[in-house]
Amino acid sequence: MRKALLIAGLIMLASGTAEAAKCGNNAQGFPKWLAAFKREAVASGISSRTVEAALGNMTYNRKVIRLDRNQKSFKLSFEQFLARRAPPSTIAMGKRRMQQHARVLDRVERKYGVPKEVIVSIWGLESGFGGFMGNIPIFSSLSALAYDCRRSAFFTNELMSALRIADRGQMRIADMKGAWAGEIGQTQFLASSYERYAVDFDGDGRPNLIRSTPDVFASTANFLRQHGWSKGGDWSPGSRNYGVLRDWNRAEVYRKTIAHFATQLRR
């Protein structure tokens, strides 16, 4: 009996240790976690060559964790956020970009039912109309965030998605750079969204959300349509389409800014 209890206790202790090794809040356990994750990725069907190319010499990215802990912009009031992210100069730039890309935006709107004003407002807010997409290698960002205990499950899924994108040859690992949370391209798709909603609208054989504006516009519209966007519907706060914008960004101040920006573009 005593021996059985001892064995049971050791099993529970081992189980607890294994569970704790799944994530961590400092650099100490990162190498062990990474080795286990790489084995899991290969077991899921991703080639060992891709896994090693993406993660082979990876180290813990402390900067990414600091940025994750310090998202102050979403604590601003709507007026403060609007002044910072969508001032009159940015809205004027949006109107020029909308005219510049009018033909392809009209095609996208006809196919997906999402107004060009909404697409361009998201484009402007996410990357300054493609001007700054981020330059952090996303495998560095995503591995740090997947290891971090705060949102480990969420970012582990994103890391797996990013590896699958690379393994299929949809993007080169060297090109997979973005913002600190691993977002990719001109409207900052997370890897799982890239897998599900990215569209090859320019017909070159694969979606490219970094360099192809037709692909960027169509993929953004496809995301919103797949999340329930109602063609011809309003996007003001309280509307059904405003609710769909929550699937784009859960921060109320961000959704309200998208809606305001799009309304200004329509005037």
* Active site members: 126
Phi, then psi, of 148 in degrees rounded to 5:
-65, 135
Place of tokens 């977002």: 183
Among candidates 222, 202, 229, 198, which has minimal Cα distance to 214?
202
DSSP state of 205: S
Write out the DSSP string of 12-52.
HHHHHHHHHTT-BSSGGGHHHHHHHHHHHHHHTT--HHHHH
Contact call for residues 242 and 249 (beta carbons, < 8 A): no
Place of tokens 């329930």: 228
As to burial, measured by CB atoms within 10 angstroms (0-12 exposed, 13-18 middle, 19+ buried), residue 19 is exposed
Write out the DSSP string of 51-95.
HHHHHTT----HHHHHHHT--GGGGS-HHHHHHHHS-HHHHHHHH
